[in-house]
Structure 1
């Protein structure tokens, strides 16, 4: 097979919704980082603890453009999308699992607190 045929098959393996969700959440996280004057690009993050700290701050304040809070499902989608990004080709972090609550306890304490707040507010 030609290299083009291989690349064509590899591109077909990417689920369009996963791509769109990842693009959406990485853009939102990148915008947050710029708004709060965090240095560098997402792809520059190479320290898992730095990522966890930044995500804790982001999820504490993130909301929709109209000011409403995200749903629990949206927050989980964000974690999955960011996890997919940080395990991708452009990230300096490899083999990171943001869904691992033992590896990223502060992130999950923050998310669980936000989820409890969402449930309490109705």
Structure 2
């Protein structure tokens, strides 16, 4: 009987931990809330432009050589050339900057679906 009571008293703690885990999962999906964003100009899928966009955004989000808060990448050639840029706040650490750039590169294509022009301004960076 004592063992059963101990198991029941641990149940609320277990449920609390599971709930916390469930609440944290959406935050780890590389989404960022833009304070402001603007989109424009469509492209078709699949296309060379789409491939170049993925290449540029992947480069931006994975490049660790840049350590001063400004990112600038291009991929492809005209008429399918893609230019991608991000700028971080100077008062934030490089790790915060990289995280913001990575999350922005993941979020912009979903916020501006199939748009050639995409700009997002968040708390720590703009992309």
- TM-score between the two structures when normalised by the length of structure 1: 0.29
Larger-gyration structure (1/2) = 2
- TM-score between the two structures when normalised by the length of structure 2: 0.28
Structure holding more helix per residue = 1
